[in-house]
Structure 1
Amino acid sequence: MTQAKAHFTTDTAVRLDVFLTQQLGQTRNQITQLIDQECVSVDGKATSKAGLKLKEGQTVYIIFPEQKSTPALEIDFDVEILYEDDDILVIDKPSSLTVHPALSVKEPTLVDWLKHKGISLSTLSGEERHGIVHRLDRGTSGAMVIAKNNVAHEALSLQLQDKTMGRFYLAVVNPPMKEEVTVIDRPIGRSTHNRLKMAISETGKNAKTEFRKLLPSHDDTEELIVCKLYTGRTHQIRVHLESISRHIIGDHLYGSHTKSDKMERILLHAYILYFTHPTTHEKVTFTASLGPVMEDYLNKHFDPKEFHALIDPIRIEHLFSSESL
């Protein structure tokens, strides 16, 4: 078996371990292990310094060590496939499904499902995250793209970096937003008060989200909004909303203890995903259906005819013009 390789070029000065954490979606500890195993070189020169300061325009090369395959856990669920070809798999991740294994995760994950399906996947993110280009929080449902080979994985990772891959989320919030358009550009880091949460932190990673009003609920206490991510930080939408005293219905970690206590899931859904296909180089767009819980909630608390018209994918993409960037 040929060892997996990858390379990325910096567009700014940054620490080596920080840069690879951003590119590969792995933890700082995993990146440090790669560097310690002499799997990383910069401009062709091997390095063992995780804190090496990279300059703009330098290229980092990674040769991944061969991974020992771990058996998949038994699964009792299925995942809807929105699209599949030789290079990519686009799925609609259900709420309550964790994307990849971790020490704290005891139940089967999306990676376990992929293993059971026997789908050939990339290895750039290692055995426990193979094929995973980007992730969704456990409670968040919606569209995800998975790489089936290393060439596709590297191409898609670069699109995450240069923002040519985009995502639009639908959410139900309480109380309604004040402005038609709200842009929050504030860094996010781990909360110092609750290690399960993220928070606005001046020492955190840069994070930018744009929110737009769509439709108020029947009683005007809630609102359906659409959110566009310009970065992909952990819990980004939820943290940015909390920073302006807004919460997503069903969010037990960041939300207020009102109607959300009765919800079986958070009403946050990755509705639209677009990117450039790594082989055909054509822009492709995928839409993930709302699912029965979110659909039923919207039908009950909002005007069904109105919200279905407002979430037309073409209409949503037109809402976000280049002027708002």
Structure 2
Amino acid sequence: MNQKSFIVETIGRLDKVLTDKINQSRNQVEQLIKEGLVSINGKVVTKTGYKLSIGDRVEYSFKEPIPKDKVVVDFDVDIIYEDDVMMVVNKPSGLVVHPAPSVKEATLVDWLIQKGISLSTISGEERHCIVHRIDKETTGALVIAKTNEAHQKLSLQLQDKSMGRYYLALVDYPLKDSGIVEKPIGRNRKNRLKMDIVSEGKYAKSAFYKIAKSDANVELVAVKLFTGRTHQIRVHLNS
């Protein structure tokens, strides 16, 4: 494991201080802590709310990917851009981004591993290298981090909005006007497999811009995501 450390300069909760220090999401940092990958002054700490003091030495590391049974990868993916620390691929429709217990077919991560591409390990063994996701049926550019340092910096760009996510969508129910939708998204109360607008859901914001409309009443819409919730575009369009 690649272990790093720093000296605490400001008192505060372990999860908050570590999140600010390594530029990762709070959820990713909480996962590191709970898995015993963070120690304070040489002692492993698994409590996310542990109170840090000035001068404490914090050490943390990221898990290396665990080898798994090979899956058949019988497809290829176009590479839009690549350098030593990152790459951008054009994910085709129908391809799942990363493995999950419910996913039986080969994924984009499986393709990357088969290609022997160096991948970051920050997001865990199933989602390592994945800076952001797009739905299985969506085609689009996906950013891949090859190193943990690149992953941290790319994630920060998403958080501070210096990196944007833009989509084109064809809708068969034309929008009345261009505009911004800010509605919380969560699981449907009656169907847990479906995402919906729910009051207790997570904050979500999307911008829609009307581009063109066909004689068949199909409209081309540009979309900008300010947040990245599951099925966000579909849910906000449907609202």
Pairwise TM-score range, normalised by the shorter structure: 0.7 to 0.9
**Equivalent residue for 2:140?**
142
> Per the alignment, do residues 227 and 125 of structure 1 end up closer, same or farther by CA in structure 2, a change over 3 Å counting?
same
Question: Is this contact kept in 1: 2:206–2:227, CA < 8 A?
Answer: yes
Once the two structures are superposed, what CA deviation does each residue of 1:155-188 show, in whole Å capped at 9, x if it has no partner? Answer: 0011111111101100011210001x22001111
CA separation of 1:159/1:6 partners in 2, compared to 1, >3 Å: closer, same or farther? farther
The Cα of 1:35 is off from its aligned counterpart by 2.8
SS at match of 2:68: coil
For structure 2, list consecutive stretches of 5 or more residues without a partner in the other structure.
7-11, 52-57
The equivalent residue for 1:39 is 37
Measured at CA, do residues 90 and 66 of structure 1 come closer, stay the same or move farther in structure 2, by a change above 3 Å? Answer: closer
Report what 1:215 is aligned to.
212
Measure how far apart 1:127 and its partner are.
1.9
Contact kept? 2:73, 2:106, Cα under 8 Å: yes
Amino acid aligned to 2:66: K
Structural mapping, 1:1-325, within 5 Å: 2-3=1-2, 16=15, 23=24, 34-40=32-38, 47-50=45-48, 52=49, 62-179=60-177, 181-219=178-216, 221-243=217-239
Residue 184 of structure 1 aligns to which amino acid in structure 2?
V
CA contact (8 A) 2:38 2:45 kept: yes
CA contact (8 A) 1:67 1:127 kept: yes
Q: Does the CA contact (< 8 Å) of 2:63 and 2:122 recur in 1?
A: no
- Provide the identity percentage: 54
Shift of 1:216: 0.6
Alpha carbons of 1:241 and 1:92: their partners in 2 closer, same or farther (altered >3 Å)? same
Equivalent residue for 2:54? none
Counterparts in 2 of 1:85 and 1:110: CA distance versus 1, 3 Å: same
Q: Secondary structure in 1 aligned to 2:236?
A: helix
Deviation per CA, 1:234-289: give whole Å up to 9, x if none: 1111111111xxxxxxxxxxxxxxxxxxxxxxxxxxxxxxxxxxxxxxxxxxxxxx
TM-score, length basis structure 1: 0.61
In the alignment, is the contact (CA less than 8 A) between 2:95 and 2:137 conserved in 1?
yes
The alpha carbon displacement at 1:37 in A equals: 2.8
Code of the aligned partner of 1:166: G
Distance 2:195 2:5 in 1: 30
User: Does the 8 Å CA contact 1:182/1:212 hold for their aligned counterparts?
Assistant: yes
- Could you say what secondary structure the match of 1:128 adopts? coil
Mapped to 1, the partners of 2:137 and 2:59 lie a distance apart of 34
RMSD: 3.3
Partners of 1:229 and 1:61 lie apart in 2 by 35
Relative to structure 1, the CA distance from residue 92 to residue 61 in structure 2 (aligned partners, 3 Å threshold; closer, same or farther) is farther
Structure 1: gaps (5+ residues): 8-12, 55-59, 244-325
Aligned length: 225
The TM-score, its normalising length taken from structure 2, stands at 0.82
